[in-house]
Amino acid sequence: MQDDAPHDASAAPPALLLVNLGTPAAPTARAVRRYLAQFLHDHRVVQLTRWLWCPLLHFVILPLRSPKVARKYAEIWMEDGSPLAVHTAALATAVGARLPGWQVRHAMRYGEPSVATVLAELRAQGVRRVRVLPLYPQYSTTTTTSVEDAVAAAVPGSGLQVQLRRDYHLDPGWVAAIAERIRAHWQAHGRGERLLLSFHGIPQRLVDAGDPYARQCEASTAAIAAALGIARKEIVLTFQSRFGREAWLQPYTQQTLEALAREGVRTVDVACPGFAVDCLETLEEIAMQNAEAFRAAGGQALRYIPCLNAAPAHADALAALARTDAGWS
């Protein structure tokens, strides 16, 4: 993916742009509404006909949903801002420390700093070569392709040579970092009766149409099991964050946790490898909401294992991805 304008990119310093999903600027209904409007307007996220979807979004969903979501954000908000924003910025700093001579920045697909803004800033600073790494280990048309859209819209006429990596779901460094995070949790707290890996869900119809996301989640799970030295059957794979009424990838995380509790399982360790950093979906949905549902169904403790965030092993893995030429297009 590159602009055709003539330039000498070889002499300019390279850059790495880490792109995450995004977050509201504040835990308020107004800020959440602005963020959700941009997010849910993306046709990669919601593929309904615009004349049907836009009135429903602006006159029903946003007025009703924004205050509720704002209250959820308020429960996890950090002193310096949204956990996703804070951890993504820290991760970019950590990766940059491992890539001397590179400019390492972060951007958000929705919200600020935007992909277009950061690419323009890099261009103004003399950067000509940019590698864009969406912080989604598993590829989906709903996430990675949306980042591709944002990059494609920003590149023409910029003089930038841009490469994008579509996934890293089997990268050995990333798999080892996830396994080490789980292993460290077990060493500190003992091993729970079950290990559950919860990935963000997508509509089943997208997978039926060829989206490789579910297949990559399974491949990641098998690789993590191998890195932990356990059988694949010792890990429960589920999908969370369902939105709307249509069927999404199953089994659903909360229903699975409730079923495990009813079966007599008392402790479950839960990790979310598809999320690069902690955010609303991990801290509020899993560690709070799903933990409560598990206890209400008879379980004793859902023990949430934090995301990699800016851990050294995570930064090492992403820096190594940036340096290698394989996997970029």
Tens-digit pLDDT profile for residues 135-163:
999 999 999 999 999 999 998 877 899 99
**Residue 188 in this model has a pLDDT that exceeds 50:** yes
* pLDDT tier at 67, thresholds 50, 70, 90: very high
Exposed / middle / buried, residue 234 (Cβ in 10 Å: 0-12, 13-18, 19+): exposed
What distance in Å separates the CA atoms of residue 277 and residue 285, rounded to the nearest whole number? 14
The whole-number pLDDT of residue 48 equals 76
Q: What percent of the chain has pLDDT over 70?
A: 96
The pLDDT tens digits of the residues spanning 117-134 come to 999 999 999 999 999 999
Q: Within 10 A of 258 (CB to CB), how many other CB atoms are there? A: 18
Q: What percent helix, strand, coil does the chain show, rounded to 5?
A: 50, 20, 35
* pLDDT tier at 306, thresholds 50, 70, 90: very high
The torsion angles phi and psi of 305, rounded to 5 degrees, stand at: -100, 115
**What 8-state DSSP symbol labels residue 10?**
T
What distance in Å separates the CA atoms of residue 167 and residue 213, rounded to the nearest whole number? 10
The whole-number pLDDT of residue 247 equals 96
Q: Which residues contact 255 (CB under 8 A, 6 or more apart)?
A: none
**Residue 4 in this model has a pLDDT that exceeds 60:** no
The whole-number pLDDT of residue 312 equals 98
The whole-number pLDDT of residue 8 equals 46
Residue 215's nearest CA partner among 223, 207, 226, 224 is: 207
The whole-number pLDDT of residue 46 equals 80
Q: Within 10 A of 80 (CB to CB), how many other CB atoms are there? A: 10
The whole-number pLDDT of residue 9 equals 46
